[in-house]
Structure formats: structure tokens, C-alpha cells
């Protein structure tokens, strides 16, 4: 089963999937509102605004597995994202990205190695997975900012 077919819920509880983003370049990010990397929300939103019409969709999956940095309810997360960073990209339910309860989407994604050859568990909040229009996946460390030249080049290539 493709990651685009796996059921997931939107942050508001609506059943969904990544299917509506199939055949688009999709940047999947595990996010948190109380992390030192939380300001990356601004860069992610900038990518969505700048490249959305060209075929990029940023999607966020809140996760509380790293330092309990996403303790809020779905409503609190939605309010934080909209009021603090003006997030317009799709936000999905809070999930686990590691361990026994790892969401099936991440079970697929963590099999991909990043540029340094790291494969396996997500290392921290804001790890990024870029899925190209043809389904090729690239992985980027949480420390790679949305403005990083390497990430931007990969997004441009994924847009075709």
C-alpha cells in the first residue's frame, strides 16, 4: 500500500489520507510547538505559499515523542499554528513516528536513508521527507532548515 492510500485523520478529526496530494511533490514533516526547531514552521509555510501553485504540498504531523514538545490537544495545536505562524498547509492528527505504535506512513518513510546514509527511527522533531511527483522519497535531517539550498534544490527537482 502506498503512503498516499494509508488512512489518516486531519487535525480536526476528519478522516483523510495523503491521496489528495498524490502526483504532487509532498514534504512530510513531524512537527512540534514547543521545540527549539519550532520556528521552522515559518519556513515551511513560506515554501507552501511560494511553491504551492507549482505543485508542492507541505504536510505536518504533530508528534509528542521527542521531549514531550507537542503536548497540546488538536485544537490547541491548530490555534498555535494559525495564530503564531499562519500555517495554511494541511495538518494531520498527532501520531507516533517511532516505536511499536509508529504510524504506517512513517513505517514506510523511515526505510529511506538520508544523504549521510542514516536510515531508521526519526531522530527529532522537524525531520523532513520529500516525496516527488513520481513517488521517489528523499530524507532530510531535522537540522536542515526549510531554507536550506540542498532541500530547495531537491524540491525544485521533485516539482519536475
Q: With respect to residue 156, please indicate whether it lies within any of the assigned structural domains.
A: no
Q: Which three cell numbers stand for residue 60?
A: 505536518
Over pLDDT 90: what percentage of the chain? 94
The rounded Cα 73 to chain-centroid distance in angstroms is 18
- Per the prediction, the chain carries an average pLDDT of 96
pLDDT at 23: 86
Q: How many whole angstroms separate alpha carbon 129 and alpha carbon 82?
A: 23
Q: How many whole angstroms separate alpha carbon 36 and alpha carbon 32?
A: 9
The CA distances from residue 60 to 4, 88, 116, 160, in Å, are 14, 10, 24, 23
> Which position among 3, 25, 35, 154 bears the catalytic label?
35
* 81 a catalytic residue: no
pLDDT classification of 160: cutoffs 50, 70, 90: confident
Residue 34: is its pLDDT beyond 90? yes
Q: With respect to residue 1, please indicate whether it lies within any of the assigned structural domains.
A: no
Domain span at residue 118 reads 8-151
Q: With respect to residue 140, please indicate whether it lies within any of the assigned structural domains.
A: yes
Count of domains for the chain: 1
Contact 25, 128 (CB under 8 A): no
Amino acid at each position: 500500500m502506498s503512503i498516499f492510500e494509508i488512512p489518516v485523520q486531519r487535525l480536526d478529526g476528519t478522516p483523510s489520507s495523503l491521496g489528495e496530494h498524490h502526483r504532487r511533490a509532498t514534504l512530510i514533516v513531524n512537527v512540534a510547538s514547543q521545540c527549539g526547531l519550532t520556528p521552522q514552521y515559518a519556513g515551511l509555510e513560506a515554501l507552501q505559499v511560494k511553491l504551492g501553485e507549482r505543485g508542492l504540498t507541505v504536510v505536518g504531523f504533530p508528534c509528542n515523542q521527542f521531549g514531550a514538545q507537542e503536548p497540546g490537544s488538536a485544537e490547541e495545536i491548530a490555534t498555535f499554528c494559525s495564530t503564531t505562524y499562519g500555517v495554511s498547509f494541511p495538518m494531520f492528527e498527532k501520531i507516533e513516528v517511532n516505536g511499536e505504535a509508529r504510524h504506517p506512513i512513517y513505517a514506510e518513510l523511515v526505510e529511506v536513508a538520508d544523504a549521510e546514509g542514516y536510515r531508521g527511527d526519526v531522530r527529532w522533531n522537524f525531520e523532513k521527507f520529500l516525496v516527488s511527483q513520481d513517488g521517489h522519497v528523499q530524507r532530510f535531517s531535522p537540522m536542515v532548515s526549510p531554507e536550506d539550498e540542498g532541500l530547495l534544490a531537491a524540491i525544485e527537482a521533485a516539482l519536475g
